[in-house]
Amino acid sequence: MRGISPVVFGGKGGGIAPEMIDTLLVTMGAFFFLYIYLINLRVRLDKT
């Protein structure tokens, strides 16, 4: 199974295509802000 999936954050010669790095970073940022929003919402609901 190790040979099927590419190494995303790896050394030279492996990993994702360079044009996909922007997509990966935007997606990670979006999930990060969604996580922060949901935690904030949970804290606000817990206070009421």
Q: Hey, what are 34's tokens?
A: 């969604």
Residue 30 counted as domain residue: yes
- Reported as type and span, the H/E element at residue 4 is none
Which structural domain range is residue 43 located in?
18-47
Residue 1, domain member (yes or no) = no
pLDDT of the residue at 38: 98
Between CA 16 and CA 27 the distance in angstroms is 14
35 lies in some domain: yes
Q: Flag whether 11 is in a domain.
A: no
CA atoms within 13 A on the CB side of 44: 6
User: What are the tens digits of pLDDT across the range 16-44?
Assistant: 788 888 999 999 999 999 999 999 999 99
Rounded to two decimals, the pTM is 0.64
Report the alpha-carbon distance of residue 6 to residue 26 in Å, rounded.
19
